[in-house]
Amino acid sequence: MTVGRSKLLSNYTMTQRDDSTKPLDKSRLERDLSIMVDDGLAFSEHIHKSANKANGIMAVIRRTFTCLDCKCFSNMLFKSLVRPHIEYGVPVWFPYKVRDIYEVENVQKRATKQVRSLRHLNYKQRLIKLNLPTMKYRLHRGDMIEVFKILHGIYDRDITEGILQLAQNIRTRGHALKLTTQSSRLELRRNCFSVRVVKPCNSTRSSCVLAKCEGV
């Protein structure tokens, strides 16, 4: 699989034990740790697959439970059985296209309608009653959790070295772990993890970014 905008036309071969060569088949989509990686790094197919799986689980819940109250839906079913399928690996496939953002949000939007007592309310009102944030907020929260772990050395530094760059000049307003804005010409680059997290991280309250990691 050739990743990026430039698709090379060269054929690749693999040398086998008997010194013979075997041509490698070209691929545009591969699965790695349950994340569907495509050659354009758009992740639209992964998002579509995850949304379908989450909607399928909601269909099972709908057939199993004849009546759902707010507590049962929110705490026992949606948070534990449905939402994890949408949030898994989000720093890798974070959606930036409008249709992908809508597809992710629509999973929760449709799911909240399963509570009959809330069907007459709009989506925002249903979230308030269920004490649920939007999926967009949850995805950004996932990004910030990963940033916190990287900056505080919770991950192996040999793996995370170079992903985020601390700003050299910290005399301006903000906290001591401000990040350097990296240049980006392409939309894909602007929306990759190391670039998109800079602005929200730098604007996060100091008490959050500099919080102590107890038990680590």
- pLDDT band with cut points at 50, 70 and 90 for residue 9: low
Instruction: List beta partners, residue 37.
Output: 30
Per the model's pLDDT, the better-predicted residue between 124 and 194 turns out to be: 124
Q: What is the pLDDT of residues 92-136, one digit of tens each?
A: 999 999 999 999 999 999 999 999 899 999 999 999 999 999 999
What percentage of the chain has pLDDT greater than the value 90? 44
Query: If you average pLDDT over residues 148-155, what whole number do you get?
Result: 86
Share of the chain above pLDDT 70, in %: 92
- In a 10 Å sphere around its CB, with 0-12 CB exposed, 13-18 middle and 19+ buried, how is residue 119 labelled? exposed
Structure tokens at 75: 């705490």
pLDDT of residue 48: 95
- Sorted by sequence, the CB contacts under 8 Å of residue 57 that are 6+ apart come out as 81, 82, 85
What is the pLDDT, as a whole number, of residue 172? 58
For the residues 15-38, what does the mean pLDDT come to? 86
Q: Which two tokens stand for residue 46?
A: 């992964």
pTM: 0.81
Q: What is the mean pLDDT of residues 88-94?
A: 92
| pLDDT at residue 187, as a whole number | 84
Hey, what are 5's tokens? 């905008």
Residue 138, C-beta contacts closer than 8 angstroms, at least 6 positions apart: 83, 87
